[in-house]
């Protein structure tokens, strides 16, 4: 079982819609969770971090964490063409190293 | 805040040569830096963890004699690809923990270095 698994893409959504990205992790002791956005040919850019169960909102992005279910998600509201990218879920089990999911590619159709 | 730079941004070299990549934290001290490699359409692969003033810790399968890492200060880590071969062509990305700026488990990534070995 992979440490971090993301729903397979690509995910295509119309402009203005909500994009929903899911991620599950295997290490129940994980305490830190991150979503990164990576444009093609570029390095990852931190979007959100979340540490407690529940929702965390930042602009059009909402991260949701459920440690009991070992599940973390990212919602992108009012999706824009500029949101088209690969979204990486990352979990920090220990020693500050991150375990990354394979990523979900999102395409926002104008 | 939390800006990480890398130099060079891209490099083309001949097979057998060595290439050095620098990673700098510009506005914070980074006690720990990480080096990743990413092949096209694949996710990030952690190569090694670098701590200031100590030897790097390499992930399984990564040759430490081929990928030399030096973390000489709290703001600079270097990765040297020795005797590079075409199969080493990849996108190399460093990241740093933001020591002293909130949580230390958040990694900020540099812009990456694209290496092409002919």
Residues of B in contact with A97 (CB under 8 A): 34, 46, 49
CB atoms within 10 A of CB B45: 16
Q: What are B57's two structure tokens?
A: 């810790």
How many residues in chain A? 110
| Residue of A32, A102, A103 lying closest to B105 (CB–CB) | A32
Residue A83 phi, psi (nearest 5):
-80, -10
What is B25-79 written as a DSSP string?
A: ESSSB-SEEEEEEE-TTS--EEEEEEETTS--EEPTT--TTTEEEEEEETTEEEE
Q: Do B97 and A34 touch (CB under 8 A)?
A: no
Instruction: Give the tens place of pLDDT for each residue, B30-83.
Output: 878 999 999 988 889 999 999 888 889 999 999 999 999 998 888 999 999 999
The answer to whether the CB atoms of A43 and B93 lie below 8 A apart is yes
pLDDT over 60 (residue B101): no
Determine which of A30, A33, A44 to mutate to test the interface with B (most B C-beta atoms within 10 Å).
Answer: A44
Q: What residues in A contact B44, CB-CB < 8 Å?
A: 44, 88, 100
Each residue of A34-66: pLDDT tens digit? Answer: 999 999 999 999 999 999 999 999 999 999 999
Rounded CA Rg of chain B? 14
Nearest CA to CA, how far is B2 from chain A (Å)?
A: 11
């Amino acid at each position: 079982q992979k440490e971090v698994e993301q729903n397979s893409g690509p995910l295509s959504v119309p402009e203005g819609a909500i994009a929903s990205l899911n991620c599950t992790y295997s290490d129940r002791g994980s305490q830190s969770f991150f979503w990164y956005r990576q444009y093609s040919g570029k390095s990852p850019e931190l979007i959100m971090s979340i540490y407690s169960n529940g929702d965390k909102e930042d602009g059009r992005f909402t991260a949701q964490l459920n440690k009991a279910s070992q599940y973390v998600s990212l919602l992108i509201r009012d999706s824009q063409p500029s949101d088209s990218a690969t979204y990486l879920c990352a979990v920090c089990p220990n020693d500050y190293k991150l375990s990354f999911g394979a990523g979900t590619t999102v395409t926002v159709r104008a | 805040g939390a800006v990480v730079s890398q130099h060079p941004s891209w490099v083309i070299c001949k097979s057998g040569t060595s290439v050095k990549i620098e990673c700098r934290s510009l506005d914070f001290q980074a006690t720990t830096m990480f080096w990743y490699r990413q092949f096209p359409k694949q996710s990030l692969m952690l190569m090694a963890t670098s701590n200031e003033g100590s030897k790097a810790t390499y992930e399984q399968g990564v040759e430490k004699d081929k990928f030399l890492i030096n973390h000489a200060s709290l703001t600079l880590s270097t990765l040297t690809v020795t005797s590079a071969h075409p199969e080493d062509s990849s996108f190399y990305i460093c990241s740093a923990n933001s020591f002293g700026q909130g949580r230390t488990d958040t990694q900020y990534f540099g812009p990456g270095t694209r290496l092409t070995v002919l």
